[in-house]
Amino acid sequence: MYTDRASCHESRMMAKLKKLLKQHVLWVGFLAVLGPLLIILGLQYKSLVKLERTSAAARRAMLKNFLEAVATEAEYFYRTDAERVLNISPTVFTEGRLQKMAHYFKKKGCRAEKQFFLADFTRRGEPSVQFYDPLLHVMEPHCREPAIERAVKVACAPWYLLSWKRTALDSVTLEVNERDTQNRIILNPITDEASRVVGVAGMIVDVGYFKDVYLPRLIRKTLPKFFSDHEQEEVVVTVRDGTGRLIYAIPHPVEGEDDEVTVPLQFIFKDWRLGIHGRFMTTEELARRHFFINLSLSILMTMVLIGGIALALRTASREMKLSKMKTDFVSNVSHELRTPLASIRVFGEFLRLGRVAEPEKVRQYGQYIETESQRLTQLINNILDFSRIESGQKAYRFERADVTDIVSETLNLLQVRFKQDGFRVHFHPSAEPLPPVLIDPDAIARAFINLLDNAIKYSGSAREVHVRLGREKRYVTISVTDYGIGIPREEQEKIFEKFHRVTTGLVHDVKGSGLGLSIVKHIVQAHGGRIAVESEPGRGSTFTIYLPIGDGSDSAGGGH
């Protein structure tokens, strides 16, 4: 017993779940797609956070590589120049040929030097120093600038001491002496066959040339190798001396900004530092900006995808709703067709079998058959009109006509139906004569019949309908008022859509095709007019057709 109850309960729960999924299948599908998208967005966020850190480190590394490339190129320039010029044979010192070196320096001279000199340690006593005069192209025992002469003597002193001690050296390389920052010296010790120092060849570097000519040119040459044209405008390269004073900058830096990356020069000017920083933002700020841009694009892409999915689901929902409406339409039309056909068949059968002998009854049955035939004709006309409207083949024949005559004739044709259904229809013509209007009389009559049919169906227990004609400014108006169940405000815009029927409980059981008001709207708009509805639930509705008065220029024309 317990097992059966549990099984039955489980079956009911499964049935409810299936029904729920069926009713909300689109929402289930939407959530099924939204979930993975949000997960992907979360993973993308984590990836972008890591990318932000990595990109900041990578950019800082690139800035450092740029500065090291500049420093390496400067070292190569001065080292190779010094090796080319200062690589002198020891016989120059041992054979006393220092005075003949003027021609050599003239031939080998370079733009980076301020002064060449030779120091001879082969003589007894103090070393003999000869300075090359670039103006006279001769070797002189004294320099024009005493500061240079003092700096040279100080730089040569350690090498003279090694020569005096006759110390043999395993190897010699270029040496840089920067004790006097205004007279920086590159020295090349010269050794004999016994590896003992016999002299020194040296050059005093031209600081002005390095600062004002060579370094700016080198920086401008190296920038395009690491940065695009746009990126070059976003960085500031600086050069500072040993005291931190700004020597050079490209472009001019903003006061108070510190360099993000600095690198010292390696061979000469070793107390100077190359620096670089962002012109508008730091590396961290730039990485954070790219992070937010990428995150925004990811969010935007996700929103677009969600919007596209929502639009697709909305379209699918609309199509499903339309499909259901069409199904209901077929069902309702079938019912609408069966009802008059059944009445016609029954009354016709009575008359055929001669079961009705009284003339009054025969006339009454004939009226019933006529009324049901009219109802059937109206339904078929609506279906045909809808088909023509959907295919774009609906045509109207416009002519000048009196709306009052059309409404009166239509009401007379429907008197029998009103009487059979127990309705009282009150006609209120306009107090003043209405001008003729350019219309299709048959189409306007069908629109009016559809409004009357709608009023009769939804009047409920109130069996009273009022028809009023009037004029409002440039329009002739036809109003149909019932005192039935009314239409909720949120449904009033939708009732003119094809197949739409109000879904409240009060009208759900009323049969209908769902085409009447849609056809009315199309007919009225084809005449250049409009249709309006005023309704309040429980108090009834008023539908008003507005037809323009004029020469027809506002209408659709004669063959729409």
Q: Which residues of the chain have pLDDT under 50?
A: 2, 505-508, 552-560
Strands 175-177 and 185-191: antiparallel
Name the H helices within 171-282. Answer: 207-209, 215-226, 229-232
Q: Give pLDDT, residue 45.
A: 64
pLDDT tens digits, one per residue of 322-346:
776 667 666 656 656 666 677 777 7
Largest distance between two CA atoms of the chain: 167
What's the rounded Cα separation, in Å, for the pair 225 and 211?
Answer: 22
Nearest to 522 by CA among 410, 386, 322: 386
Gap between the Cα atoms of 141 and 193, Å rounded: 27
Q: Which residue, chain included where needed, has tokens 């019932």?
A: 482
- What pLDDT does 553 receive? 38
Q: What angle do CA 335, 448, 500 make, to 5 degrees?
A: 45
User: Which pLDDT does position 475 carry in this prediction?
Assistant: 93
Render pLDDT for 444-463 as a digit per residue (tens, 0 to 9).
Answer: 988 898 899 888 888 877 78
Burial, 354: exposed, middle or buried (Cβ in 10 Å; 0-12, 13-18, 19+)? exposed
Residues 6+ apart with CB under 8 A from 508: 502
